[in-house]
Amino acid sequence: MNLSKSQTNTLDISSPYISRLARIERVARVTEKERLFKIAIEDGKTLGHLPGQFIMLSIPGFGEAPISISSPPDKGNRFEICVRAVGNLTNALHNLTKRDRLWIRGPYGKGFPVQDIIGKDLLFIAGGIGLVPMRSLIKTVLNERSSYGRMNLFYGVKSPDEILFKDELLQWEKAGNINIQITTDKPHPEWKGHTGVVTTLLPPLKIDETKTAAIVVGPPVMYKYVILSLGDKRIAGHDIYLSLERRMKCGLGKCGHCQINSIYVCQEGPVFRLSDIRYLREAI
């Protein structure tokens, strides 16, 4: 590499770690563990994200973490995130309220290819908080409902009290726009619905495999089994989209934490076509 050439430009580059100030506009309890935050960026400009992308969110003193965006793309300066309190930063975030400020940078990564699934039947399969990034895509496609075929959402949760966005799910279904089935891993005294892991919802479903795209987001353990079930449905690998979760520290393809073989999930992902990663060791 000719370093002297690239060096002449470095004086003009700004730090990729610089963040934008944002303010919490609303906090809503989603479940016992998750809160939904509506956030406005102070500079008034749009986040400019696509469904499936993520931001690096920080609260000075508590650090920075990758957080998926849960709202559909918006021309305004607002967006939503839904966060479970599991670590230092996310616990600190849960202590913030309306008007508190935080910092964001991004959006980062490759999102769901909204253009490529136009005209298709959509099969959404979510596990647990996998519904958070998926909500951005579902809301996006529901806004353009006539551009897509049939829609099914199969959603697996550990127990009924972990169901996210209950009201919205009802609303979507009521509008007749999407068929939704929820299952809990184990029987629960208050749960009258389906019980069993999310793949147990699939067998009765009739699909046209030539025009179906499957979108899968869930915990790491879920993918292997869902992929097998989708194989039974004869959905081709290039019609199956997965969003992979990995540890990330920079979002810029440098820090190494999200690396799977030669791939940096923060750059080439987090959304992948199954056909691109089926033989990538350690991916699934």
Site membership for another protein, residue 16 (CB under 8 A): yes
15: three-class secondary structure by DSSP: coil
When the beta carbons of 172 and 272 are compared against another protein, the nearer one is 272
Tokens of 276: 């691109």
Among 246, 273, 276, 280, binds another protein (CB under 8 A): 246
Site size with another protein, rule: CB under 8 A = 50
Site membership for another protein, residue 213 (CB under 8 A): no
Q: CB under 8 A: which stretch of 72-80, 115-123, 133-141, 217-225 binds another protein?
A: 217-225
Q: Work out the burial of residue 36: count CB atoms within 10 Å of its CB; fewer than 13 is exposed, 13-18 middle, 19 or more buried.
A: buried
CB proximity list for 110: less than 8 A, separation 6 or greater: 52, 53, 267, 268, 269, 270, 271
CB atoms within 10 A of CB 221: 9
When the beta carbons of 72 and 270 are compared against another protein, the nearer one is 270
Site residues (CB under 8 A) for another protein, limited to 26-85 = 58, 60-65, 84
When the beta carbons of 15 and 115 are compared against another protein, the nearer one is 15
Site membership for another protein, residue 267 (CB under 8 A): yes
Name which of 129, 106, 71, 68 is nearest 271 in CA terms: 68
Tokens of 93: 């975030």
CA of residue 25 relative to chain centroid, distance: 21
Among 26, 29, 45, 101, binds another protein (CB under 8 A): 101
When the beta carbons of 26 and 101 are compared against another protein, the nearer one is 101
Reading phi first (left if > 0) and then psi (alpha if -120 to 50, else beta), residue 222 is in: alpha
Site membership for another protein, residue 90 (CB under 8 A): yes
Binding residues vs another protein (CB under 8 A): 1, 3-4, 6-7, 9-11, 13-19, 21, 58, 60-65, 84, 86-87, 90, 101, 103, 219-221, 245-247, 249-250, 252-257, 259-262, 267, 281-282
